[in-house]
Each structure stands twice: as C-alpha cells, then as structure tokens.
Chain A
Amino acid sequence: MFWRKIKLFWWNHWVKIVVVAWVIFIFWIPIAALKGIDNYQRDYMIAWLSTMGLQATISAVIFVVLYSWVLQGGLQKLKKRQIKGEGVAIHWKDVIGMDAAKMEARELVELIKDRARIKKIGGNIIRGMLMMGPPGCGKTYLAKAVATEAEIPFISMSGAEFVEVFVGVGASRVRQLFQKARRLAYAHGGCIIFIDEIDAVGRKRVFSAFGGTEETNSTQNQLLAEMDGLKDKDENVIVIGATNAAQDSLDEALLRPGRFDRKIFVDKPDLQEREELFRYYLSKIKFDERIDVARFARKAVQKSPADIANITKEAALIATRGKMESVSADHLSEAMERIDLGLKRNRKVSAEEMSITAYHETGHLMVTYLMHPKDDVFKVSIIPRGPAGGVTYSLPQEDEMFRNKDWFLAEIRTLIAGYVAEKLKFGVTSSGVSSDFKHAMALAHTMVWRLGMGKSESLGDYSSIPEQQLSESIKEKLNSETHEIIQSCLKSVEDLLKKENVIFERFAQELIQRLELDYDDIEAIFKEYGKPNPRVTSKYVPKGEK
C-alpha cells in the first residue's frame, strides 16, 4: 500500500516535481560552476541572475494577475473537494431516525470496507446508492455520516457544478472527478463520490433538434459511462447521489442496476423520530428541562429534521431577544408559529374587518373541530400574518400515508366554512374566501378526476389524458360531480353552523376580544357546551388537564 501511495503521489505531482528539479538543475549547477571563477565575476553573475529572477517573478505575477482578472474565474478546473472524515465528525449515532436509510448506508460502508469477502463469494460491490426524498430530511446529513464512518476518501460535489455554458466542460469535469476518485481508490482501497442534487445532471435526457440540451446530455452520458461503462475496472469507487426530485423524473439509465443499485427513500420523520430529533437539537442549546418534548413532537407533524432544527434555533433567538437564560416551552411554541404562520403584522384593522375575519376563522374552527376526522386546531388568530388577515392553525394528529374520501370531504368542508360563516352572519362574503375556494376546488377536482371518489365512481385518472381526447359528455359528467361535491359540503357546513350557532357566536366574540385563541382555550370553550374533542389521542394531553 505504501508503494501505491508513492505512485499516487507521483501521478498527482509529477509535473511539479519535474519543474522543481529542472529549476534546481538550471540554477544550482551554474552557480556551483561559478565557484571556480574569480570572486568579482562570480558576484557579478550572481547579482545578475538574481536580478533576472526578480524580473521574471514580477513578470509572472503581472501575467497571473492579468490572466485571472481577464478570465474572471471562468472555465476553472474542478476544485479539490476531498473531505476528511474526521473534519466532518458526524457518526451513525448523530443521525436520528431514518433507520432504514441508515441501515442501508451502514451496509454500504461495511461492504466497501470488506470487499474481499464479497469477492470470495463471487459477488459484485455496490456501484451506487441513490437517496431520494423531500428537502431537509437528512440526505446530505446521512452522506456526512458515511464520510465519517467510511474512513476512506470522500469527494463531495453538487450536480450543478458540472453544468457549464460551454459544451463539453461538464463531461470533462466528470472525467476529472472519476479519474481522481480512481487514483484515491487505488491508494486507499476505496473512494466515495457524493453528488448532491444529482437531478441537475441526472434528469431524463431530452434529444432536441435545436441542440439546446447538448451540454446536459453529454455530461450525463459521461456520468453513465464512468459509473458503468466499457472501461469497467475493478475499482472500489462508489457513487452516492441525493435528490429531491421524484424518481420518475430521473433518467432510467441512471437508475438501472449496475449504476445506482440501491435506492433509498428518506422520508419525513414519524412521531417517535420527531421526539428524538427535538431532544437531540434541544441538547445543543440551554433549555428548560420541563419542556414536554412529546407535545412538540406531536405538533410538528410533517416537519422535516431541518424544520425541527430551525424551530430550536428560532426558539433560541427568541429566548435571547427576551434576555432569557434558557429556552422554554413558550419560546418553542412561538418559534413554531412564527415559522408556520409567519410574522405578525402591525396593520391597523377596522372593527368591521376584524368582525368579518373573526366570523370567517370561527367557521373554519368549528368545522375542523367538529367534523374533521384527523386534524386538531392548535390556534386561531385574527391578527394579520403575511398576506392573510387571520389564520386557523390545524395539524393532523398523526402521520398518514394515505387519505380517504372522508378526509377529502372534511378538508373541503373546512375550506368553505369561512365562506359559509360570512354568508350566514353578514349575508355577503368577502374576497378572503378566494384562497379557500381555490384549494377546495382543487381537492374536489382531484377526488373526481383522479381518485374515482365521485358519485358515479368513474374510475381512472382522467387528468392524465389530454383534454381534447376526452368526450364532452365525460367532461360534463366529471365537472358536474365535482360541483356536486362542493354543494353537498356546503350544505353540511351550513347545517352545522346553524345548528351550533350559539357556539359559533361565542367563538367569534371571543376572537374579537382576545384576537387569538390557543388549543386549551378552544378545548375549554367547546367543553363548556358539552362538545369534547371527538379525536381522542393517547399521547397528547392538554396543559390544563395535567
């Protein structure tokens, strides 16, 4: 291995070595020869040589400065991106959750380290692993853990770094990258290349007559050839890719076995993982030990690890602004609201607008609480935030992979509840319903056109067929069913609000007075009227009942 390293050193630096040796030769030998002549001439020649050297150095410096200035850093060589594992220092224990992905990564590292064992059986080493998933779920973080645990050279690149204006530059960079990786693998026994945002070079190839996609295609072709091409040598070079894009947006040639053999989906954390994440990130800051981490984990449904990290950071900032010594539960709540709902605006709201907003949000609140099968209302507010005049902050109780018809209908009812509330109370509605209608229509459309949840249960995904290929009668039927869903939801909401008018008024007045109501306030008021939470959860217990 030592001689291999010497060989690698020679490959990487032979030009420099030859130049340095030549410089030494052309300077040292004449200088040594000068020792044989009279001291006056010797001193004269040495002074002359030094002057020439100084002149050459000044000229070289001016040239380099002008060269760099003119080119402005374009067409740069590939920057050295070798990462040292101990510099990253993220171990398996630091990766919270994503057990399946972690297991795959562990296995990959073990296989890299012990390829001899696989060779004995006659197996082939894994060539590549692709990590997919929503942003902020820990793909790059997992890659960092691989870098630390693998203890072999790790080169990190971004897919965008391969793409250049000039055709051929991207392919050249891919070649350079793999050449460097092979040399490192030769010297150290293995090498990992991590390409983040691989969809920048890995998307489905488009063969356009106008040639506008030539650069991307050539870069991708080079990547395909390097990963599993004709020059398939017995090298321990593994490629790990990460992307937010859907799998079907990537090129099939890249995804086939022999290139990215393993595909791991890194999803958002579940309830238990969120709890662990909160504990992990809170352990990095000073926090109040009395914080109910489970509660916040419950509230952080559909949040990624990056979101949770952001929440704890924001909470720390809020605590600092409030000159507190540690982060409390209130700081965490405020941080979550600030991130989810946005900053409160100090806009002066007239009494009329306040009233409209209050009744509008009350409509959402009532329907969500009494009719939604999954969501709980954590906060309702009529303080303007962002573009909205008010907000009803609801979150699902638990993570869901699938949604049924009841959920869709409940969502539509919740969305149109604001409209119904305004109409019942004031007789006219405002423009504040536009966003609600848009989402409600989209959901109803999806139910009928894509999910076969319409009245006639017309099966199939009609939205995938070009519209001109659908008959008018089918379109009319589907649209009619969509409209019918909206209307039936409208009716049921109207009935509910009329039936529970007392509670409806009570909440509206409370909102006008207090501007904001949180979960406990909402629960308390509903309980006053004998309406406990229809969704019973085992983990979460309201503050007042502890």
Chain B
Amino acid sequence: MVNPTPESLLNTFRRARNKAALAGFLALLLLFPGCGPRKYTYPADKVPGSIEEISRKDYNLVVKARVVGKTVGALLYVNSILDKDGQIPKDLNEKMGKLMQVVTRVALSTDLPLEYCLVVIRDRVHPHQLMITRSLEDSKRAYADVIGVEESINRTLFGQDKYELIKDAKSTFVLKDVRHEDFLTDQIVQRVRFNYSKDAKDELDKALLMMDGSFDTSTGQRVFRFSLIALKSEDPREMVLNVFKTVNRVLEGYKYADFDAVEIQDYLNRQKLVVDRNALFDYQKKKITDQEILDRFLTESQSIQEAFKLFGFSIPQSSNDNPDAAVAATAVP
C-alpha cells in the first residue's frame, strides 16, 4: 500500500515553509526585471545621434544635435519662422513641441548628467531664431504630475534672437551651457512680463513694461538684479511687491538658496527693493508680511535719467534729482 504521505509535489506545497518559499520565488520573478545593473537606452556617446535619428524617423525632421556640459540642444532650420501675419505658424509650434519631446526623451534616458534641454528653430531666409529652454527636472515633475500644465509652461523659457546667416551654407550651431542662475533669472523676467501682459488692456499697454534681470557676482556677492520701467502702473509699491513675489515664487519652487540678495529697481518711480536671503526665507516661512517687506526693504533709488541711460536713452537731468549711492550694475539686454 502506498505510504499516505509520499514526498510528492502535493506535500511540498502543503508545508507552510514551502508556501513561503513559493511566495518569495514569485516575488523575485516579478521583481527580476528591476534587478541587475542599470541599462540606459541612450548611452552618452549616442545622445546627439539618437536625437537626430528619432527626429528623422518619427517626425521627419532633419535636426542637428549637440551636448555641452549639462545642456543638450537640437537645431532645426525652417523656411520661415513667421507667417504672413507675423505670427508663428501652428505647424511650426507643433514641430517645436515634438522636437522638444524628442530631446527630453533622450535626455531622460541617458547616463549623461544633463539638466537642460534646448531647441533652436532658425529661419533660413532671415537671421532670426527661436529658442525654447526647459529644465529636465521640470520635465520629470510634469511627467509625474507634480506640477500642472500652466506651471509647466511658466517654467519653459521662450526666447528669440538673431544669428549669423551665411548664404548658401549652414551656419554653425554653437550651443552654450545654460547656467542655472541665468535660467532662473530669465524665467522670473518672463513670468513678470507674462503677468503684466495678461493684465494689460491692449497692445499698447503690453509694451509699457520694460524689465530685465541678471545674476551678478562681480561685487563678490551673489545677487539677483532686476531692473524695470513700467510706464503705466497704478501703484508703484504694489508693482515692486508683485515682482518680488514672482521672484520668491520661482526661488521657492526651485528651492534655490545659493544667493545673497535679491535687488529690484524701479527706475521710473525711483525705488529699490533689496532683500537679503535670510529675509526672503523668513518671508517664505510667513514670518515677514508683505507690508513689512516694503517698509523694511524698499528705499529710494537712482534717477530716471540714469535708468534711461542704462536702456540707451538720454534725458536732461533735473536739479531736483539726487543721484543715490546705488551700486552701478549692468543690466544685460
């Protein structure tokens, strides 16, 4: 007669310890794909080539790609970046979006320590180019829905520039490594301009704000400097405060702390707001109110004549104007 407890598969599975072993084996089976050395889809030496290949295969775009430092960029030539109405055509917008998608996709899946993606669209006929700069971290956040669509757009830099057009030959694609501080500064300026133009009633009003910014280390201190002339603003103090809030929002959003002060100069109204880092952090922690910021850190600044000089204009100086001891700074146009 057969032994009632044979060493069979039936008894193997019955024993509790083998059940635990089976569960562990299944877990390993499921986790196996995650084990082993990490494999990157786009190795470092294949990044530019991959961008060019994917753009050609998936979107039929002939691009040139480069990697410099922490920045990866792609260049696309088009026949015209503006249509007959002076607007960017819809299909070009789509191409820019797709190209940015390709660059981001490759940048995320490589072992290179990349931080910025840049897309440059050049007009073949006219020496104009459009530039879109995006932080790779922002792309990850957007992908994981940490930031919304609007914020994602706010964090993308849109710029335009001229380039050296060489007839019948392709101009060189010189890619500059994006510095994080410059990225933040340009973003702040863009946000302020966008916010002002949103509130502006017509096209004329939109043009009445001039703002520029830079990250200055020439004095030994690391300072975010912003210069603005708002030809039409109802409350100058409120204007400066709004700009300060935008600066704070961006620095807080990126958790950036490697600076010493933030300086906002309103040349038209001769006021300047200089807030040091600690005061900014206290403001972020709501230890300082808006009113306190204005009361404690808003001072008089240099005259409008000096401001216009900076912007390339000259206005006769009035005897009532007192040049203040503001630090001379170069606003980068």
Chain B nearest Cβ from A154, distance in angstroms: 8
Task: Report yes or no: A8 in contact with B10, Cβ–Cβ below 8 A.
Answer: yes
Contact between A39 and B4 (Cβ–Cβ < 8 Å)?
A: no
Contact B1 A189 (CB under 8 A): yes
Does B198 have its Cβ within 8 Å of any Cβ on chain A? Answer: no
Q: Residue on A with the closest CB to B105? A: A38
* Residues in A whose Cβ lies below 8 Å from that of B39: 39
Q: What residue in chain B is nearest A82 (Cβ atoms)?
A: B4
Determine if A69 is an interface residue (Cβ-Cβ < 8 Å). Answer: no
Asked, given contacts A9-B10, A31-B30, A34-B33, whether A153 binds B143 with beta carbons under 8 Å apart, the answer is no
Contact of B5 among A23, A28, A38, A86 (CB under 8 A): A86
Which residue from chain A places its CB closest to the CB of B143 in the assembled complex? A44
- Complexed CA–CA distance, A152 and B4 (Å): 5
How many angstroms from the CA of A31 to the CA of B31 in the assembled complex? 9
| Complex contact A32–B33 (CB within 8 A) | yes
Separation of A23 and B4 alpha carbons in the complex (Å):
32
Taking a contact as CB atoms under 8 Å apart, the answer to whether B109 and A152 are in contact is no
- Bitwise, A21-38 to B at CB < 8 A (1) or not (0) is 001100110011011001
Quick check: A188 and B34 within 8 Å, CB to CB?
no
| B26 & A40 in contact (Cβ 8 Å cutoff) | no
- Tell me the complex Cα distance, A27–B30, Å: 7
List, in ascending order, chain A residues with CB within 8 A of B9's CB: 6, 9
Q: Is the CB of B2 within 8 A of A38?
A: no
Bitwise, A69-103 to B at CB < 8 A (1) or not (0) is 00000000000000011100000000000000000
Q: Is A119 an interface residue (CB 8 A)?
A: no
Closest residue of chain A to B32 (Cβ to Cβ) is A31
Instruction: Give the residue of B5, B26, B40, B144 whose beta carbon is less than 8 angstroms from that of A39.
Output: B40
Number of A-B pairs, beta carbon distance below 8 Å: 60
Q: A20-B26, A40-B109 are in contact. Are A46 and B33 (CB under 8 A)?
A: yes
Contacts of A86 in B (CB 8 A): 5
Q: A39-B38, A44-B144 are in contact. Are A24 and B4 (CB under 8 A)?
A: no
Interface size on B, residues (CB 8 A): 25
Give the distance to chain A from B259, nearest Cβ to Cβ, in Å.
31
A425 within 8 A of B: no
With a cutoff of 8 Å between Cβ atoms, the chain B residues found around residue A8 in the complex are 10
Question: Which chain B residues lie closer than 8 Å to A23 at the CB level?
Answer: 26
Q: How far is the CB of B146 from chain A (nearest CB, A)?
A: 12
In the complex, what distance in Å separates the CA atom of A6 from the CA atom of B8?
10
Complex alpha-carbon distance, A8 and B13, angstroms: 13
A41 to B106 Cα, complex, angstroms:
11
**A:91-127 near B, CB below 8 Å:** 113
The residue in chain B whose Cβ has the minimal distance to the Cβ of A190 is B1
Interface assignment of B169: CB less than 8 Å from any CB of chain A: no
> B residues within 8 A CB of A39?
38-41, 109
Shortest C-beta distance, A109 to chain B (Å), equals 10
Minimal beta-carbon separation of A11 from chain B (angstroms): 11
Cβ-neighbour of B3 out of A9, A20, A151 (below 8 A): A151
Residue of B nearest to A114 (CB): B1
Partner among B6, B10, B33 whose Cβ is within 8 Å of the Cβ of A31: B33
Specify the chain B residue showing the minimal Cβ separation from A191.
B4
Q: Are B4 and A153 in contact (CB under 8 A)?
A: yes
Interface size on A, as a range, is 20 to 34
- Give chain A residues whose Cβ lies under 8 Å from the Cβ of B204: none
B108: interface (CB < 8 Å): yes
A28 contact set on B, CB distance < 8 A? 29-30
B106 to chain A, nearest CB (A): 8
Taken residue by residue from 34 to 52, chain B's Cβ proximity to chain A (1 for < 8 Å, 0 otherwise) reads as: 1000111110000000000
Indicate if A405 sits at the interface (CB-CB under 8 A): no
User: For the complex, is A514 an interface residue (Cβ under 8 Å from B)?
Assistant: no
Segment 252-291 of A: residues with Cβ below 8 Å from B: none
Least Cβ distance of A157 to chain B in Å? 17
Q: Are B4 and A85 in contact (CB under 8 A)?
A: yes
Bound CA span A58–B77, Å: 54
Q: Please indicate the chain B residues that have their CB under 8 angstroms from the CB of A113 in the complex.
A: 1
Q: How far is the CB of B49 from chain A (nearest CB, A)?
A: 15
A130→B329 CA distance, assembly (Å): 109
A152 touches B1 (CB 8 A): yes
Name the A residues within 8 Å of B105 (CB-CB).
38, 40
Shortest Cβ distance from A256 into chain B, in angstroms? 30
| Minimum Cβ distance to chain A for residue B36 (Å) | 12
Contact of A38 among B4, B6, B108, B144 (CB under 8 A): B108
Question: B109 and A38: CB pair below 8 A?
Answer: yes
Is residue A15 within 8 Å, beta carbon to beta carbon, of the partner chain? Answer: no
Shortest beta-carbon distance from A36 to chain B in Å: 10
Give complex CA distance A21, B29 in Å.
Answer: 12
Given A9-B10, A34-B33, A39-B109, A188 contacting B2 (CB threshold 8 A): yes
Q: Is A348 on the interface with B (CB-CB < 8 A)?
A: no
The reply to whether B26 and A24 contact each other, CB–CB distance below 8 Å, is: yes
Instruction: Evaluate contact between B4 and A151: CB separation under 8 angstroms.
Output: yes
Cα distance, A151 to B10, chains bound together (Å): 17
Partner of A189, one of B2, B8, B42: B2
**CB distance A40 to B108 under 8 Å?**
yes
Taking CB atoms and an 8 Å cut-off, the chain A residues in 182-235 that contact chain B are 188-189
User: In the complex, what residues of B have CB within 8 A of residue A6's CB?
Assistant: 9
Mark B83-96 against chain A: 1 for CB-CB distance below 8 A, else 0: 00000000000000
Candidates B29, B38, B40, B143; contact of A24 at CB < 8 Å: B29
A491 close to B (CB within 8 Å): no
Closest residue of A by beta carbon distance from B8: A5
Q: Which of B4, B9, B33, B108 has the most CB atoms of chain A within a 10 A radius of its CB? A: B4
Instruction: Give the complex CA separation of A31 and B28 in angstroms.
Output: 13
Q: Which residues of B contact A27 (CB under 8 A)?
A: 30
Give Cα A408 to B4, complex, Å.
54
Given contacts A24-B29, A32-B33, A38-B108, contact A84 B41 (CB under 8 A): no
Which chain A residues lie closer than 8 Å to B109 at the CB level? Answer: 38-41
Can you pick out 26 interface pairs between chain A and chain B where the beta carbons lie within 8 Å of each other? A5-B6, A5-B8, A5-B10, A6-B9, A8-B10, A9-B9, A9-B10, A9-B13, A12-B10, A23-B26, A27-B30, A28-B30, A31-B30, A39-B38, A39-B39, A40-B108, A44-B143, A44-B144, A84-B4, A85-B4, A113-B1, A151-B3, A153-B4, A154-B4, A188-B2, A189-B1
The 4 A-B pairs at the shortest CB distance, nearest first, are namely A40-B108, A38-B109, A40-B109, A38-B41
Given contacts A44-B144, A84-B5, A86-B5, 20 further A-B contacts (CB under 8 A): A9-B13, A12-B10, A24-B29, A24-B30, A28-B29, A28-B30, A38-B109, A39-B38, A39-B40, A39-B41, A40-B41, A40-B105, A46-B33, A46-B34, A85-B4, A151-B1, A151-B3, A152-B1, A154-B4, A189-B1
Give A residues with C-beta under 8 Å from B: 1, 5-6, 8-9, 12-13, 20, 23-24, 27-28, 31-32, 34-35, 38-41, 44, 46, 84-86, 113, 151-154, 188-189
